[in-house]
Structure 1
Amino acid sequence: MVARGEREHVLVVGGAGFIGSHVCQRLLRSGHRVTCVDSLVTGSVTNVASLLDDARFRFVELDVTLPLPRWPDLGTPDSVLNLASPASPKDYQRLPIETLRTGSRGTEHTLELAVRHGARFVLTSTSEVYGDPLEHPQRETYWGNVNPIGPRSVYDEAKRYAEALTMAYHRELGADVAIARVFNTYGPRMRTDDGRMIPNFITQALSGAPLTVAGSGTQTRSVCYVDDTVTGLLALWRSGLTGPVNIGNPHELTVGQVAEEIRRITRTTSPVISIPGAVDDPRRRCPDITVARTQLGWSPEVGLHEGLRRTIAWFAASTEPVSHTSRTS
């Protein structure tokens, strides 16, 4: 492994989002300077509000799909961590063209910036590149089973293109890059309205509404608490690996099991009911994290019950919904 500098300037793109804000916080705690860039399409300044008074932290509202000449001076980053993209089906289906542009133009622009400054570049990709997998669990060598024209394709293909572009910069220009394939992540700062499984179930349980399970509830997911995901991402950043590397929890659960665990923790009497399933919804999702374990020394540490307990406590303590800031593209 290659040790990163103790006092690096790190540019975190998409840093006001759910995972991105936790990355910014962790980097600051480790002594780094952080420039957080976000368009606030799905992120929120609220997520980084506690960091704004830190002299080592800077927030810049910026759409990374704009050409580089239109960007403000961001200083000289030693590393660029690209987490920019709508990530929930509700968001990327609401913003299909923006999602594709972020994965294509946004990735190209952040790669160009990294190459210009000789910075290490980390792309946060997704398990969605595997589509509805025919291999289980999913290894990094699996090429995927993706519908290129389905409703989920704008996100899936944007990330697949971003991975291809990242590797092209690595092969042709010698860019120092890494690709993380992040599986389902949950925790504090998720938006109550983002449409994903865990915030939906928690919000419903806390309000006494029925917990709505899409489809049969037998489809599986592997869910990783955000602290573990961030630790994995930063372990990849600090390493000399190119990847891709799966970052996720290998404990496979059905959607119905997740709903029942949330019911138990919240002590709700709300029933679980079925609603129609989503188009192209993966039937099984579980990472093989052998590469992360053996080459990064990383594996998740927070169990489902503890992670959900912390997340539910955060949702319950929130005085108002955490929502995105609307912006016209």
Structure 2
Amino acid sequence: MRLFSSKLYCEDVKYVANIDLPWEKLQNNSILLSGATGQFGSFLTDVIMYRNKKGLNCKVYALGRNEEKAKKRFDYCAESEYFEFIKYDINEPLITENIDKIGYVIHLASNTHPVQYASNPIGTIITNIIGVKNMLDYCVEHHADGFAFASSNEVYGENRGDVELFDELYCGYIDCNTMRAGYPESKRCGEALCQAYISQKGLDVVIPRFTRSFGPTLLQSDTKASSQFIHKALAGEDIVLKSDGTQYYSYTYTADAVAGLLFVLLKGECGSSYNIASSSCDVMLKDLALKIANCCDKKVIFEIPEELESAGYSCATKARLSGNKLQSLGWMPKFDLSTGIERTIRILKNNQNMEGIKA
């Protein structure tokens, strides 16, 4: 795994793995993780596997559709008794052999890219709703200790102009009669389904709400604006901004986001949602593009988006989240926006260099 050739990436993993948390809940236990090769799932797996070296003894069941991709990403886990990949399509009921009891289930799998929203709106909705139902059913059947459903800042909809920061009780406007509404509405439905399973099945469920995130584990296929900026800059190209860039959003560096997820999983209250966000990473899109461009000595240019791209874009012009509730559990972000961007670029440049050496 070439990410581990980066000292900075190893520092990120060790930082999260050494945070003061009730790790004893995972001691000699297990985690079943959907979306294991994704941005958050892969980093979380690295954190758990690092702690396993120190005697955590927590088995990671990593779910994913692409076995070849998983083997490449987790090649360092191949001989570990604490890692097992399970090939699985989230739209199907999950059936596992030789697993009677599971510890924690973390559901991260989802269509999370704007082009996917536009090109496969049906699949986006079905994956988000059916996927969480399948994971919840698995929890019930296997008597899970707890379940975490990865929700999104998109559940808040558009800012009505009445608040500066969204807290967990805010509910903004979403026009459900649009194609783009499929993602936020299905995430809202997923949260409602979690509440139903708490009430009817007695599950212990927490809901981390991720905001827009960036970091070295982003996927090459990721079409979110921040990811496209980073891909362009690393390719030695100018960054293309396909709007006026005045959208004002919260962002989170991957290491801080996964740390927040662990705080919610291990310390959160059943039935509660928690924003994983910090004002230190709030920025307008044009300023984010400029920061990334400056890291790679590139420029920002403006371009009209293609029809398919623009159809998948969020309509929200301001979506800043309050992280106060999560901070009450003890979480504090370590990385501000500039530091996170610099680390991301340096780690991915190192990864590019290692790819070149291997080639």
1:159/1:208 Cα in 2 relative to 1: closer, same or farther (>3 Å)? same
Q: CA deviation at 1:77?
A: 1.2
Which letter maps to 1:186? F
Q: CA deviation at 1:258?
A: 0.7
The answer to whether the 8 A contact 2:176-2:185 is kept is yes
What is the rounded CA distance, in whole Å, between the counterparts of 1:209 and 1:85 in structure 2?
29
Is 1:265 aligned to residue 295 of structure 2?
yes
Is 1:36 aligned to residue 56 of structure 2?
no
Q: Which residue of the other structure, out of 58, 69, 86, is the alignment partner of 2:111?
A: 86
List aligned pairs for 1:27-66, cutoff 5 A: 27-30=48-51, 31=56, 32-40=58-66, 45-66=71-92
Which letter maps to 1:303? D
Q: CA deviation at 1:249?
A: 2.5
SS at match of 1:146: coil
Aligned position for 1:109: 134
Q: CA deviation at 1:12?
A: 0.6
Gaps of 5+ in 1: 323-329
What is the rounded CA distance, in whole Å, between the counterparts of 1:108 and 1:209 in structure 2?
42
What is the rounded CA distance, in whole Å, between the counterparts of 2:259 and 2:98 in structure 1?
25
Q: CA deviation at 1:311?
A: 1.1
Q: Which residue of the other structure, out of 315, 318, 322, is the alignment partner of 1:284?
A: 318
What is the rounded CA distance, in whole Å, between the counterparts of 2:74 and 2:277 in structure 1?
24
Deviation sequence 1:161-182 (CA, Å, 0-9, x none): 1100000000122111101111
1:197/1:74 Cα in 2 relative to 1: closer, same or farther (>3 Å)? farther
List aligned pairs for 1:151-230, cutoff 5 A: 151-230=179-258
Is 1:10 aligned to residue 38 of structure 2?
no
Deviation sequence 1:43-69 (CA, Å, 0-9, x none): 75543333333220011110121134x
**Structure whose residues are more often helix by fraction:** 2
Which letter maps to 2:326? A
Deviation sequence 1:17-59 (CA, Å, 0-9, x none): 1111111111222322100011249x75543333333220011
* TM-score normalized by the length of structure 2: 0.81
What is the rounded CA distance, in whole Å, between the counterparts of 1:202 and 1:137 in structure 2?
26
The answer to whether the 8 A contact 1:35-1:74 is kept is no
Aligned position for 1:326: none
Is 1:72 aligned to residue 127 of structure 2?
no
Q: CA deviation at 1:189?
A: 2.1
Which letter maps to 1:225? Y
Aligned position for 2:5: none
What is the rounded CA distance, in whole Å, between the counterparts of 1:5 and 1:44 in structure 2?
23
The answer to whether the 8 A contact 1:10-1:79 is kept is yes
SS at match of 2:335: coil
Q: CA deviation at 1:240?
A: 4.4
Is 1:313 aligned to residue 346 of structure 2?
yes
How many residues in Structure 1 have an aligned counterpart in Structure 2?
Answer: 316
The answer to whether the 8 A contact 2:238-2:293 is kept is no
The answer to whether the 8 A contact 2:245-2:285 is kept is yes
* TM-score normalized by the length of structure 1: 0.88
Gaps of 5+ in 2: 1-20
Between the aligned residues of both structures, percent identity stands at 27
Worse-superposed segment, 234-243 or 90-99: 90-99
The answer to whether the 8 A contact 1:16-1:45 is kept is no
SS at match of 2:315: coil
SS at match of 1:223: strand
What is the rounded CA distance, in whole Å, between the counterparts of 2:268 and 2:336 in structure 1?
29
Q: RMSD of aligned C-alpha atoms?
A: 2.3
What is the rounded CA distance, in whole Å, between the counterparts of 2:219 and 2:124 in structure 1?
18
What is the rounded CA distance, in whole Å, between the counterparts of 2:235 and 2:50 in structure 1?
35
